Amino acid sequence: MLRPEPEGGYTALVPALPGCVTHGRTIEEAQAMAKDALSGYVASLRKHGDPIPTAEGRFSKGGKRCRP
């Protein structure tokens, strides 16, 4: 989700991943930053063995889906 900011630029939010937020000066930069933030967030979840939220609001761990 991209949100234009009054001071300029765009905030990129990933609602399924709490705290996964970044910013870019242009839409393209914000999208690229969001992809990078998403990748890092998921890598950290995997590293720590935490479940990965899915778009359906469920979690995936070890290839199996489970509820939060």
Residue pLDDT, tens place only, 1-40? 999 999 999 999 988 888 999 999 999 999 999 999 999 9
Domains along the chain with CATH numbers:
2-66 (3.30.160)
**pTM for this model (two decimals):** 0.73
Which pLDDT does position 55 carry in this prediction? Answer: 67
What average pLDDT does the segment 32-49 reach? 95
What average pLDDT does the segment 31-52 reach? 94
The residue among 53, 47, 50 whose CA lies nearest residue 65 is 53
Strand-pair category, 52-53 with 64-66:
unpaired
**What is the token pair recorded at 47?**
């590293």
**What is the token pair recorded at 38?**
């998403």
Q: Are 61 and 54 in contact (CB under 8 A)?
A: no
Sign for the CA dihedral angle at 47, 43, 22, 4 comes to negative
